[in-house]
Amino acid sequence: MQYTAKQLAQILKGTVEGNPDAVVTGFAKIEHGKEGKLCFFANPKYEHYVYSTQATILLVNRDFVPKQPVAPTMIRVENAYSAIAELLKYVSSTTNVHKRHRGWSLWHWSVKFGKKVWLGDFCRIGKKVVIGDGTVIHDHVSIGARTVIGRNCILYPGVRIYPGMVIGDDVILHANCVIGSDGFGNAPQPDGTWEKIEHLGNVIIGNRVEIGANTTVDRAEMESTIIGNGVKIDNLCQIAHNVQIGDNTVMAAMTGVAGSAIIGKNCIIAGQVGIVGHIKIADNTTIGAQAGVIGNVRKSGQVLIGMPAIPHANFMRSYALFKRAGEVEAEK
């Protein structure tokens, strides 16, 4: 990549403060800024780097007021954090252009490929699969029969999609994630053994969803496991059968959601959270790391932490009490 400050300002609808012909050829974090690199400043605790960075161009918020001289050319934008995300996406889309390609792969004659579908090597695609325009399928991907995949999706190496799944537009599935595996359903028998419950449903994934590496989404027993539009799921998560996740909810790594749980829209779920099955979590709920949610969350907008998870303010009051109890015991 190679962009001038003037070009970047046009892309990001920003204004240049400094040399409009300053050129950058790559990105760097502000603390690692060097000549020829573009950095961004959005978090106030990194402000001291603004005055010491060697970067050529620095993205800053439009209302930023420097306390000292700033050496890099600044591009002022409404939101520097959003602008860098937009810029990274723009650069990726212009440098990784995939045209129609068919690698050394095996697909059934009934598969329907859209326009400009890119297919890597050693993939296997089953009967009556439909793949939308502009979708990129990397090496060693397996797609089961009757699956429908939308437009402009990216399936990274090793993705496994079971038969009959439905995947929307602009979906990203990272390496080795599994969509549609059997749910963990077993019926106890009188003799103490377990009888496997067959799962005949599917998974429906909405538009603009991203699912991380080695994450598994199980198919439903009879209907559908549903991942809403705009959902972002990190690596190493487990989404069990019949789960529903509302639009624009985000979930960090190593979170597990048990069967038939319903998670609302715009929720934020931190790492290593455990959510039991057959409960409902209200919209706009935030759940702190390693929390365990064992009951319904009916009130929207709460922040929950702890095991079992309770509202943040309640937890902090309780924590103060049991921390003090331990100190009193030690004093005896």
Q: Are 197 and 179 in contact (CB under 8 A)?
A: no
Torsion of CA 258, 262, 264, 270, to 10 degrees: 0
What tokens does 284 get? 């706009």
Segment holding 296, helix H or strand E: none
101 is catalytic: no
Give me the half-sphere count of Cα atoms (radius 13 Å) on the Cβ side of residue 139.
Answer: 3
Segment holding 224, helix H or strand E: strand 224-227
Tell me whether strands 268-269 and 286-287 are parallel, antiparallel or unpaired: parallel
3-class DSSP state for residue 245?
strand
Burial class (CB in 10 A: 0-12, 13-18, 19+), 95: exposed
From the list 137, 147, 140, 94, the residue with the least C-alpha distance to 116 is 137
Beta strands in 18-117 (DSSP E): 23-24, 26-27, 37-41, 57-61, 73-77, 101-102, 106-107, 112-113
Residue among 138, 140, 174, 241 flagged as catalytic: 241
Q: How far is CA 28 from CA 35, 71, 83, 92, 155, in A?
A: 10, 16, 14, 15, 27
What amino acid positions are annotated as catalytic residues? Answer: 241
